[in-house]
Structure 1
Amino acid sequence: MRRSALFVCSTAHLPVTERRHIDHLIAAAPRGAGGRIDVGHPDLVIEPYAYGFFVHTCVVGCGGEAPEISPEFWAILTYAFERDASWVLFDRDEPASPDLPVFPDPDRPEEHQS
Structure 2
Amino acid sequence: MDLQDQLKNLFPDHVQEETPPPPSNESGIWIQDDPIICKYEKRKGKPITILEGYTGANEDFKILAKDIKTKLSVGGSFKDDKIIIQGDYRDNIMKILKEKGFKVKRVGG
TM-score (normalizing by structure 2): 0.25
Which one has more relative contact order, counting CA pairs under 8 Å at least 6 apart? 1
User: Which of the pair has more CA radius of gyration?
Assistant: 2
